[in-house]
Amino acid sequence: MEEKKPQEPLQAARGMHDILPSRSDRYASMESAARKVFSAFNYTEIRTPVMEPAELYERAIGETTDIVEKEMFVLKDRGDRRLCLRPEGTAGIVRAYIENNLGHEFPIAKFFYIGPMFRAERPQKGRYREFVQIGSEYFGNERPAADAETIILAHSLIKKFGLSDIQILVNTIGCPACRPKYLEVLKAYLEGKKNDLCENCRTRLVKNPLRALDCKEDADKFGDAPKTVDHLCEACRTHYASVLEHLKSAQVPFAERPRLVRGLDYYTRTVFEVYSTGNTGSQGALAAGGRYDGLVEQLGGNPVPAVGFALGVERVLNELDAASPVSDAKSRRGVFLIPLGAPAYEVVQKLLIQVREAGIPAESGAADQSIKSQMRLADRIGAEYCVIIGDNELASGEFALKNLESKSQQNIPKDKLVQVLVDRYSVKS
Ligand code: AMP
């Protein structure tokens, strides 16, 4: 007989993480908090595929961006079509907006999304290869109030998640009318520094000079670079001033950052990033977004203005952890009902239904198991309480509720048991 070789255990793919039960609760509560905020701002959910044609991102995000140059997970299906795990949400939503003619009935449409994104980045704290983004897209409103609403929405969400000490950095990067002139000025400036630039920035200088300003290596060297705000057309200048006015009256904590640009090509006019105060490093943005008036047309739709943002769930969780670490230790939960004998088993099955209907996690042992083995099972499964029900308990009409953590015990009249459990659980949650 062939000898079986011991199997090496496998590991998750590089930069990808399991979200274990101790943490998945936190994702779920962030998601439900987000849904409430989005609903209050009148956004409805859109869910688009996790994979899209790779060409979508190449056309939308831009060939000379980090994402398209080196971070896309591209694979070929059996028909030799190039598909890509989505690196961000906007391009897919714009594709869906055009494909499903979503602007037809109501030309102004507001969507939110929650879901995993994938980028083949070098894994480090706050930078993962799979991460969850929560974001919004607002189509059909070119007015500054829509830019401001997006920023106010991002701010409200982050506050709702429990982070209060945050700062929003805002800038405008102009539009196709005024940006080319600015790019000429910027190019001339970068030319003057050419010998001082990293290899990427030297390429960007020719292909996409704006991106040099958010280069991970060189950004600090550009403190004296020309500012976009000094080279805006009249329409962009008025738009930007109005966005800032809206933010002031909404009392959003913002600061202008004249050299802020975004790593994706599709942005026009307003761009913004949200940071936790004191953590404005290049890996620290909690959320980012801006206006992208040309993208719908660029992807084959009618010209429709739009503005949106995306927030990184893991970045927010990291911040919350830093503020008050949450123990990853597993805690006991739920009730384990222990029937002793056939009559008790009948009673336990009915009780089990009632306790579960009350929303309390509950299990029971089997009629033919000894008390000892059921107690052991309750302990191994991590139950918080157990209730032993045998002939004596049925006769007296009182059940003993035992806390398996503190080992304390309390006798409870049988028809009060569900209510007592409900009270204990509602205190906790
Ligand atoms: P972006 O789509 O690059 O504008 O990013 C928007 C937000 O998504 C960032 O502010 C981060 O919070 C989050 N994010 C982007 N890339 C990553 C990543 N590799 N790992 C974790 N979060 C990320």
d(CA 74, CA 79): 14
Closest-CA residue, ligand 1 atom 20, reads 127
Residues 6+ apart with CB under 8 A from 418: 351, 354, 355, 358
Closest-CA residue, ligand 1 atom 1, reads 288
pLDDT at 169: 96
pLDDT at 285: 94
Secondary structure, 3-state, the chain = CCCCCCCCCCCCCCCCCCCCHHHHHHHHHHHHHHHHHHHHCCCEECCCCCEEEHHHHHHHHCCCCHHHHHHCEEEECCCCCEEEECCCCHHHHHHHHHHCCCCCCCCCEEEEEEEEEECCCCCECCECCEEEEEEEEEECCCCHHHHHHHHHHHHHHHHHCCCCCEEEEEEECCCCCCHHHHHHHHHHHHHHCHHHCCHHHHHHHHHCHHHHHHCCCCHHHHCCCCCHHHHCCHHHHHHHHHHHHHHHHCCCCEEECCCCCCCCCCCEEEEEEEEECCECCCCCCCEEEEECCCHHHHCCCCCCCEEEEEEEHHHHHHHHHHHCCCCCCCCCCCEEEEECCHHHHHHHHHHHHHHHHCCCCEEECCCCCCHHHHHHHHHHCCCCEEEEECHHHHHHCEEEEEECCCCCEEEEEHHHHHHHHHHHHHHHC
pLDDT at 266: 86
d(CA 39, CA 208): 38
- Cα 49 to Cα 186, 313, 420: the distances in Å are 38, 19, 45
How far apart are the two ends of the chain, measured CA to CA in Å? 57
Cβ proximity of 356 and 384 under 8 Å: no
Closest-CA residue, ligand 1 atom 13, reads 312
Cβ proximity of 315 and 285 under 8 Å: yes
Mutation to probe ligand 1, out of 133, 280, 314 (largest number of atoms < 8 A from CB):
133
Residue that the structure tokens 């080992």 belong to:
407
Cβ proximity of 385 and 410 under 8 Å: no
274 CB under 6 A from ligand 1?
no
Cβ proximity of 182 and 238 under 8 Å: no
Phi first, then psi, for residue 398 (nearest 5°) are -125, 135
Ligand 1 centroid to Cα of residue 199, in Å, is: 24
pTM score over 0.75: yes
Length of the chain: 429
β-sheet bridge partners, residue 44: 111
d(CA 311, CA 218): 25
Cβ proximity of 73 and 85 under 8 Å: yes
pLDDT at 2: 64
Closest-CA residue, ligand 1 atom 14, reads 312
Residue that the structure tokens 């998640």 belong to:
161
312 CB under 6 A from ligand 1?
yes
pLDDT at 32: 97
Ligand 1 centroid to Cα of residue 87, in Å, is: 9
Residue that the structure tokens 């000094």 belong to:
230
Ligand 1 centroid to Cα of residue 308, in Å, is: 14
Residues 6+ apart with CB under 8 A from 155: 166, 168, 252, 253, 274
pLDDT at 280: 61
Atom of ligand 1 nearest to the CA of 129: 19
Per-residue pLDDT of the chain (429 residues; tens, 9 = 90+): 567 778 899 999 999 999 998 889 899 999 999 999 999 999 999 999 999 999 999 999 988 788 888 999 999 999 999 999 999 999 999 999 999 999 998 899 999 999 999 999 999 989 999 999 999 999 999 999 999 999 999 999 999 999 989 999 999 999 999 999 999 999 999 999 888 889 888 888 888 899 889 887 888 889 899 999 999 999 999 999 999 999 999 999 999 999 999 877 789 999 999 999 876 665 689 999 999 999 999 999 999 999 999 999 999 999 998 887 776 667 899 999 999 999 999 999 999 999 999 999 999 999 899 999 999 999 999 999 999 999 999 999 999 999 999 999 999 999 999 999 999 887 655
pLDDT at 427: 61
| Cα dihedral 138, 144, 145, 150 in deg (nearest 10) | 40
Ligand 1 centroid to Cα of residue 126, in Å, is: 8
For residue 199, how many other CB atoms are within 10 A of its CB?
8
Ligand 1 centroid to Cα of residue 8, in Å, is: 33
